[in-house]
Structure 1
Amino acid sequence: MATTTANQQPIVPAKSGKLKRILIIAIGAIVLLGAGAGGAYFMLGKSAHGPAKPAPLPPPVFFPLESLTVNLQADDGIMHYLRVGLTLKLKDEKGQAALTERMPEIRSRILLLLSAKHPDDLAGIDGKRKLADELRATVEAAASTPEQPAHIQEVLFTEFVVQ
């Protein structure tokens, strides 16, 4: 039999050592990046769900005043009167103590303000809102001191009768 001698190249495996090393490094890098991203998600995840909830505000303090009855100004010769019950909405209890200390002056100023009103001034929602704003300013002026200004959030009517 005849043998041919041709250029036969030996079969050499491809550089499998370098390929394995590159694959292992690439997979390791992907795993490390995934672990880092997962850690960051769990560490920062709480703030990513929205802003932190603010501390709840303390409930307002309601300071009721005794009912007041005054004669109103009248141009028609008929005697009109106003009976009003007020509650002051305050931010905290410190304000309530300041109001209690100055209650005679506060009541006097409220009575003077109310007795200067005409029945027509108090008719309708707008008249009552304007009166509430005037009462708030009057009470704040009477209860304020230079060291501690008073702050009334709102004047609420609990009773309101004009006759």
Structure 2
Amino acid sequence: MASTTANQQTVDVPAKSGKLKRMVLIVLIALFAAGVAAGGMYFFLLKNGVGSSKPAPPPPPPPPVFFALEPMTVNLLSDDGQHYLRIGLSLKLANEKTQEALQLHMPEIRSRILLALSNKHPEDLATLDGKHALAEELKTLIEKPTDASEPPVHVEQVLFTDFVVQ
């Protein structure tokens, strides 16, 4: 009987060590898989710029919209009454929505511009500073709301495309 007991003990010992080996193998595979997943996440996050020290450049701003007004001719204030101004304007706008709003009220805007120009002296418009001041004045006139219920439009810049004082 002693020999059967020894055989049973040797059979039970390998079964327990086999279970232990299986558990160690499963734990090692799980640790390896977790390491691969963590390495992959680290690689892809750095490749996509997350966690990098350089911030992503902002998207470029949309291109400006240039809105050309029809040329205007107006008599200027002078002692002899023989001076006139021929002017062509383009407006630099932020978007097409602003252009549509201006087109709806163009007769009123042109009237404002003509009245302002007819009140100028030729000497005021002869210098570069006079032209810059005129551009700012026209910008203010154009941005002024036509109706009290409407918000003012934003004109980035008034550009001269034609400027003749005679």
TM over 0.5: yes
Distance of 1:57 and 1:147 partners within structure 2: 26
Q: Which has the higher helix share?
A: 2
- What are the equivalent positions in structure 2 for 1:8-23 lying under 5 Å apart? none
In structure 2, the residue matched to 1:58 is 62
1:87-122 per-position Cα deviation (integer Å, ceiling 9, x unaligned): 011100011111111011000000000000001111
Instruction: Tell which deviates more after alignment, 49-58 or 89-98.
Output: 49-58
In structure 2, the residue matched to 1:135 is 138
1:113 matched to 2:89? no
Structure 1 spans left out of the alignment, 5+ residues: 1-35
Q: How far off its partner does 1:146 sit?
A: 3.3
Change (3 A) 1:112 1:66: same
Structure 2 spans left out of the alignment, 5+ residues: 1-37
One of 122, 128, 132 as aligned partner of 2:125: 122
In structure 2, the residue matched to 1:87 is 90
**Misfit runs of 4+, over 6 Å:** none
In structure 2, the residue matched to 1:74 is 78
1:118-162 per-position Cα deviation (integer Å, ceiling 9, x unaligned): 011111111110000000000111556534320101000000000
Matched residue of 1:56: which SS? Answer: coil
- Normalising by structure 2, what TM-score? 0.68
Matched residue of 2:164: which SS? Answer: strand
The number of aligned residues is 129
Distance of 1:96 and 1:145 partners within structure 2: 19
- What are the equivalent positions in structure 2 for 1:17-36 lying under 5 Å apart? none
Query: Once the two structures are aligned, what percentage of the paired residues are identical?
Result: 56
Distance of 1:136 and 1:156 partners within structure 2: 10
1:67-87 per-position Cα deviation (integer Å, ceiling 9, x unaligned): 000010013x25111000000
Distance of 1:98 and 1:80 partners within structure 2: 33
1:43 matched to 2:45? yes
CA RMSD, Structure 1 to Structure 2 (Å): 2.4
Change (3 A) 1:142 1:73: farther
Structure 2 residue identity aligned to 1:74? S
One of 148, 152, 159 as aligned partner of 1:156: 159
One of 102, 105, 119 as aligned partner of 1:102: 105
